[in-house]
Amino acid sequence: MKRRHFLATTTAGAVATAGFGTPLLGRAAETINIGGLYPTTGSLALIGQGCVNAAKLAVQMVNDAGGIKSLGGAKLNLITSDVQSDPTVTRTETDRLISSNKLAAIHGCYASALTLIASEVAERAKVPLITGSSSDQLNKGRTFTFTPFARASQFAQAQLRMSHLVSEKPKVAVIFENTAFGTATSNGLKEQAPGENVEIVMFEPYSAGFTDASPLINKVKSSGANMLFSVSYLNDLILIVRTMKQLGANMPINGGSGGFVQPEFYKNVGKEAEGLLGVAHWNHDIDADAQRVSAAFQKQYGEFIFEYAGGLVAQTFMLADAMERAKSSDPQKVRDALATLDVSRGYAAMAPGGKVKFGPDGKNVYGHPVGVQWQHGDLASVFPSQEARKPLMKA
């Protein structure tokens, strides 16, 4: 992060502290720094900036509610860093962010491939990292990494089960980007398909960021599939859906998570998105708290709050809960308090099912995804039945 931006953000946090909370020995309560690692330049910049916007909203919400009361009303101060959609930059920026600032915790990075790197650095530095990234690898051999939402393997199971909404005998073509996100999710699909009575007739990786989807879609057309699973981020998925239309590949699509659940997806493909299915670890209609957060985000930024950004607001309140109970901003104490988090109400519990409790591996024992569908320009939760907020729309 540029020095000028750093000074601006830290000064803003300090100013926000004045006049709030209970004075300690005649002084304003301390300011607690939390780090945010997101790609605000590069191929993932659009989503990364949305995450930063959500992180700012979340900090404002915590501070407006009185800050960390057990610490005299201490205010949260967000210090963000641009990881530039690049693994190498992610490593150096995570290290720089930790070494240059006194941080209580970190959240980030959206893309699993980037988060895996950031979590390695955070683990070595013993700074807790909380993330909505879905790779199951994040829960292996780590003690400072926390994942409050569904894992990639759970996304796969949900997609497979949703295929039975479309066909009694699903024959699925799976195409996936060759990244940590794409590989983990697609492998989960392949491993679990037999147990879910789904036949995978095509299993094809592609290079993320490709510019011509025609060869791939022609393979899909000739595969005998009656449904397509595309494990892709935003730009790739837009290209795939457009190419499907151009080549007359008329079959239902389950776009999984990634790019499918972004408002920008609908803006780009329009009515071609109507009826398309996907899975998400968070959706803006899951409960009343999520709807309130989305309304606030929409008022400020002109669109509903998307999956990762909405989950990020919940994560910020989980950190605030941990600090409140720890009565400390010390990273080790915050980590220990996160490890014993067990909430079932409020913004910290704003997850599918309304419960968050971390197991020994840092994974939410209640974590599971929701199946979603584009309906009239909005993303509605439709699966499973206990999570459905609107009935399934037949495409």
pLDDT digits (tens, 9 = 90+) for 236-282: 999 999 999 999 999 999 988 777 888 999 999 999 999 999 999 99
pLDDT digits (tens, 9 = 90+) for 39-66: 999 988 989 999 999 999 999 999 999 9
User: Do 268 and 241 form a contact (C-beta atoms < 8 A)?
Assistant: no
- Report how far residue 328's alpha carbon sits from residue 326's, in angstroms, rounded to the nearest whole number: 5
Strand partners, 80: 36
Query: Quick one: how far is CA 50 from the chain centroid?
Result: 11
pLDDT digits (tens, 9 = 90+) for 165-187: 989 999 999 999 988 778 877 88
Task: Say if residue 12's pLDDT is above 50.
Answer: no
Comparing CA positions, the residue from 372, 338, 383 lying closest to residue 148 is 338
Query: Which residue type does 389 have?
Result: R
pLDDT band at 91 (very low <50, low <70, confident <90, very high): very high
Assigned token pair, 200 = 């995978």
pLDDT band at 28 (very low <50, low <70, confident <90, very high): low
User: What's the pLDDT score for residue 388?
Assistant: 96
- Report how far residue 82's alpha carbon sits from residue 104's, in angstroms, rounded to the nearest whole number: 19
In the chain, the percentage of residues whose pLDDT exceeds 90 is 81
Mean pLDDT, residues 124-148 taken together: 96
Domains by residue range for the chain, with CATH: 3-149+286-364 (3.40.50.2300), 152-280+371-387 (3.40.50.2300)
Mean pLDDT, residues 316-336 taken together: 98
User: What's the pLDDT score for residue 23?
Assistant: 37
- Report how far residue 137's alpha carbon sits from residue 311's, in angstroms, rounded to the nearest whole number: 19
Going by their DSSP bridges, the two strands 253-254 and 103-108 should be labelled as unpaired
User: Do 320 and 348 form a contact (C-beta atoms < 8 A)?
Assistant: yes
pTM: 0.87
pLDDT band at 395 (very low <50, low <70, confident <90, very high): low
Task: Say if residue 210's pLDDT is above 60.
Answer: yes
pLDDT digits (tens, 9 = 90+) for 283-305: 999 999 999 999 999 999 999 99
Strand partners, 74: 68
The residue that leads in pLDDT, 144 or 183, is 144
pLDDT digits (tens, 9 = 90+) for 115-133: 999 999 999 999 999 999 9
Q: CB neighbours (10 Å) of residue 168?
A: 6
pLDDT band at 148 (very low <50, low <70, confident <90, very high): very high
User: What's the pLDDT score for residue 185?
Assistant: 78
Q: What are phi and psi of 200, to 5 degrees?
A: -95, 115
